[in-house]
Amino acid sequence: MAKLHVKKGDNVMVIAGNNKGQSGRVLNVDREKQRAIVEGVNMISKHTRPNADNPKGGIVKQEASVHISNLMVMDKSGKPTRIGRKKDEKTGKSVRVSNKSGEVIK
pLDDT band at 1; cut points 50, 70, 90: confident
60-79 tens-digit pLDDT: 999 999 999 999 999 988 89
pLDDT band at 41; cut points 50, 70, 90: very high
Query: Exposure pattern of 51-88 as b/e (b: 16+ CB <10 Å)?
Result: eeeeeeeeeeeebebbebebbbbbbeeeebbebeeeee
Give the CATH number of the domain where residue 24 resides. Answer: 2.30.30.30
pLDDT band at 45; cut points 50, 70, 90: very high
pLDDT of 79: 92
User: Domain of 42?
Assistant: 11-76
pTM of the predicted protein model:
0.84
Number of domains in the chain: 1
Whether 43 is covered by a domain: the verdict is yes
Whether 65 is covered by a domain: the verdict is yes
